[in-house]
Amino acid sequence: MPHLKITLAYDGTNYAGWQVQPAAHGPTIQGVVAAALNRLTGERICPVAAGRTDAGVHARGQVISFSTSSRIPVDRWPLALNSLLPEDIAALGAEVVSPEFHARYSARWKWYRYTIYNHSLPDVFSRRYSWQVRHPLDFAAMARGASYFTGRHDFRSFCAAGSPVRNYEREVLKANLSREGNFIFFDVVANGFLYHMVRIMAGTLVEIGRGRLLPEDVPVILAARSREKAGPTAPPQGLCLERVEY
Amino acid sequence: MPHLKITLAYDGTNYAGWQVQPAAHGPTIQGVVAAALNRLTGERICPVAAGRTDAGVHARGQVISFSTSSRIPVDRWPLALNSLLPEDIAALGAEVVSPEFHARYSARWKWYRYTIYNHSLPDVFSRRYSWQVRHPLDFAAMARGASYFTGRHDFRSFCAAGSPVRNYEREVLKANLSREGNFIFFDVVANGFLYHMVRIMAGTLVEIGRGRLLPEDVPVILAARSREKAGPTAPPQGLCLERVEY
């Protein structure tokens, strides 16, 4: 039975995240994609994703995997799936992979981008894809703060309280701040992410940018291993899963 | 009584255009802005706009004008209005103007941009702000076709049939095509626009890009003074009112 890897992009605004939830929470990406796979193949397929994105979080390069006995040629999959998907979810590519491939467990690293729109006036076109921070932000201080995230650390302070995890250690390969006009981009590449990790990092960087924390507080917060020491959780719409590498 | 000029940006996706319509068509930008002005000032204000954008059309630099006896300082207007506007409409600036100023009649020229996304796969993030054309487009041919729009012409062929207009002559100061990655931008600056004018121009350029019309057909279509000779009307979501100059 062929095993497939498919790359997806989605605008998460209208979804209760990736993972199938009790119906009351609204539709999920996984549910909508599974329904499209079902219509396309006649099989009950439950796709696995590289990153279980939260409600309102987007993806430009989510990766899913599943097995199917469908004989659709692999290069036809994206267009075939897109004809069945709503316009806020798109299949961008497909390839046949070995049966051991698992979208989540086989991932070597994932790249998330958090986008801040830093202006006192709203931007109507980016509001669904960024966090508007009205206060002036000290970019240089934020960039210095971000640099402390790189390396292997215990990220317990940057994990939502009550998360059912045993090992809080993750390796951050890159934690970089850049800007373009009124936008500030926070790019994080890591071998794994804890629940809300990027959003708490972004919330903490904004506290630094507003002068309510110092860049040098980041290593202190990391060492504290306590969610209460870090900044607030930045809102979901600024977050996007950009790419997964295997 | 002070006369105000306010610059607005809006995401037109969820509106039945600028102009107040019978309720069945859904909310309009004018209606929502008038309600916010009413709440802010306690007055019944009916704002006039530079361009009466259609349903689904956006604006980055729409201009409105109205008179008010409110004593709110002019620099406070944008933030005060934004606190009352939904997040898909934003006031970007305000100034006091002379009582003769009229957002539409005083305009010297307006700049509209039409955005085409030219790729076989959908782009979920730009779908609300562009027209996806799946077929490969000949950019050079389209650019040559666009160049024929500049100058003073009778644009009857590029006006929705049945439009209650007497004079179809308009002066196009600029009609320029550019591209960035998979996006093609068609920028038109003119002293006035007929109903659906930019969208019919864009639809015609796509016919040229697909090889179903020649660039040299544009002057022939202009001379015909008949809507049937031009290409189809491009969909509204690709259109944006960028700027108005007085």
pLDDT in tens, A195-221: 999 999 999 999 999 999 999 999 999
Q: Which residue among B11, B54, B75, B217 is the active-site one?
A: B54
Of A9, A87, A122, the CB nearest to B87: A122
**CA separation for the pair B188, B146 (Å, rounded):** 9
Average pLDDT over residues A54-70: 96
Interface test with A, best of B92, B124, B180 (most A CBs within 10 A): B124
Instruction: Band the pLDDT of A23: cuts 50, 70, 90.
Output: low
Locate the chain A residue with the closest alpha carbon to B125.
Answer: A11
Average pLDDT over residues A17-31: 86
Interface of A with B (CB under 8 A): 9-11, 58, 60, 78-79, 82, 87-92, 120-125, 127, 129
pLDDT of residue B19: 92
- Say what the pLDDT of residue B44 is: 94
| Pairing mode, strands B109-118 and B131-133 | parallel
**Contact call for residues B16 and B55 (beta carbons, < 8 A):** yes
The pLDDT assigned to B24 comes to 67
Active site residue A75: no
**If you count residue pairs, one on A and one on B, with CB atoms under 8 Å apart, how many are there?**
54
- pLDDT, position A1: 81
Q: Is B246 annotated as a binding residue?
A: no
Low-confidence spans in chain B with pLDDT less than 70: 23-24
| pLDDT mean over A169-188 | 97
When pLDDT is averaged across residues A38-42 and rounded to a whole number, the result is 95
Is A9 within 8 Å of B79 when comparing Cβ atoms? no
How would residue A26 be classed by pLDDT, with cut points 50, 70 and 90? Answer: confident
Among candidate residues A96, A51, A98, A103, the one with its CA nearest the CA of residue A77: A96
Q: What percent of chain A has pLDDT over 70?
A: 99
pLDDT tens for each residue of B128-142: 999 999 999 999 999
Contact (Cβ atoms closer than 8 angstroms) between residue A49 and residue A62: yes
Domains and CATH numbers, chain A: 3-97 (3.30.70.580), 109-245 (3.30.70.660)
pLDDT for B162 equals 80
Say what the ipTM of the complex is. Answer: 0.87
Which residue, A80, A73, A90, A74, is CA-closest to A32? A90
Check residue B26 and give its pLDDT: 87
Chain B residues lying within 8 Å of A88, measured CB to CB: 124, 127
Burial of B183 (0-12, 13-18, 19+ CB in 10 A): middle
CA distance B182 to chain A (A): 14
> Are A60 and B125 a contacting pair at CB < 8 A?
yes
Q: Do A11 and B125 make contact, defined as CB atoms within 8 angstroms?
A: yes
Residue A47: pLDDT band (50, 70, 90) is: very high
Residue B96, pLDDT score: 97
